[in-house]
Amino acid sequence: MILLWEAKMKGLLVLLAVSVAVFAKESFVGDQVLRITAKSETELVLLKELSQLEHLKLDFWTEPVEESLPVDIRVPFHSLQPVRAFLAYHEIHYNIMIEDLQALVDMEQREMINTRAPEPRSTDDFDYANYHTLSEINSFIDLLVRENPNLVSKVVIGQSYEGRALNVLKFSTGANRPGLWIDTGIHSREWVTQASGTWFAKKIVTGYGTDAALTAILDKFDIFLEIVTNPDGFQYTHSSNRMWRKTRKPNSGSSCVGVDPNRNWDAGFGGSGSSNSPCSETYRGPYAHSEPEVKAIVDFVKSHGNLKAFVSIHSYSQMLLYPYGYTRTPCKDQAELHELAKKAVTDLKSLYGTSYKYGSIITTIYQASGGTIDWTYDQGIKYSYTFELRDTGLYGFLLPARQIIPTAEETWLALMAIMEHTKNNS
């Protein structure tokens, strides 16, 4: 207990020293801090005399007040010899508390720098191989824009139910271009998708001007990327429930919260493949586009009017899916979308051997009504796809962070296949 107090006192005193050093820019090289506990009135008087010797420039951290209370003295390097001689002559016992004050100050300085919360100062410092919080991702977005003002801008397309900005990154090299849309994180527990989204953002800025295929795409199209499409849900997965999927809007007349944003779109809304119970994970909502997170995208798509591809990214299952989810009637571009999906998953597999299934939503995974890409396809955005990223169930939503970058890298190849085909056929 005493030791702890002493350690803390020492720490406090060092703190004082450092603050003095910082303020006065003084050096403590070779200085020592001696601790003396006077055993008699005589010794106490001697210590008081010592403190009067101005030329020694002694710095008493605690004053000689009474016997048995320790007296701490910072002795500058040049005064060490005379002070030690003085103490030895009078047989005053002392301990060396700090052997080299400057060394200790330096060490504390270094520790201070290391324990400061590592806020990346550039998107080159951002840790893509890890999962991040909502505020870290929003900081990343602002950093990316600041670093690439001629290529990247932030478009706020609306607000979530709880008032969070719905941020979309716009990558553009010229005005009045057709657009390609990518969203991640519409289901908040699918963490590998938001993480991949940040990687995609960085990939685009580093690839423009260096990667011929990407540069050709960006010279014709704008890319829109919404990384955290469901920020309220995402915040909730960090603060309360890692397995939260839906939005966080309360449902009137129910104690259950949230709507499945991928059942809330006006495409086969209300049909089989979604639930009418607010407590269900696939609750469709009271009406189509009831969720502000969905409505914001709907409004953006309609007002933009010239999107040519729309990719909505989920996890898990390792699938690449095209419309429809709400009906077994094949979409009219089924053959082309199927062929393109085949090429995209082949490219994806080429990197790490990851196998994807592909096909329409309703045949491949399940019936789902009110889904995103059914709506975007019926709006005329032909190249509408949904990804289900890694894995196939071993880790599921809890994909280890070490798999983020490999997942993002392989998925990027599939995205490039889709974007290139869109470019060559629009």
- Active-site residue, selected from the candidate residues 291, 293, 388, 420: 388
Q: What is the smallest separation between the CB atom of 281 and other proteins, expressed in angstroms?
A: 4
State residue 204 phi and psi, 5-degree precision: -65, -45
- Minimum CB separation from other proteins for residue 279, in Å? 6
Shortest reach from residue 12's CB to other proteins, in Å: 6
Q: Taking the complex as a whole, how short is the minimal distance between the CB of residue 40 and other proteins, in angstroms?
A: 33
Of residues 150 and 240, the one with the C-beta less far from other proteins: 240
How do beta strands 383-389 and 357-360 pair? Answer: unpaired
Question: In angstroms, what is the minimal distance from the CB of 370 to other proteins?
Answer: 12
Please identify, using beta-carbon distances, which residue of 25 and 55 lies nearer to other proteins. 25
Residue 148 or 282: the one with the smaller Cβ distance to other proteins is 282
**Nearer to other proteins among residue 70 and residue 359 (C-beta):** 359
Residues that bind other proteins (CB under 8 A): 8, 11-12, 15, 18-19, 22-23, 108, 111-112, 115-116, 130-131, 191, 237-245, 248, 250, 254-257, 260, 272-275, 277, 279-282, 317, 357, 359, 363-367, 393-401, 403
Question: Smaller CB distance to other proteins: residue 222 or 232?
Answer: 232
Per the annotation, the verdict on 111 as an active-site residue is no
Enumerate the active-site residues: 388
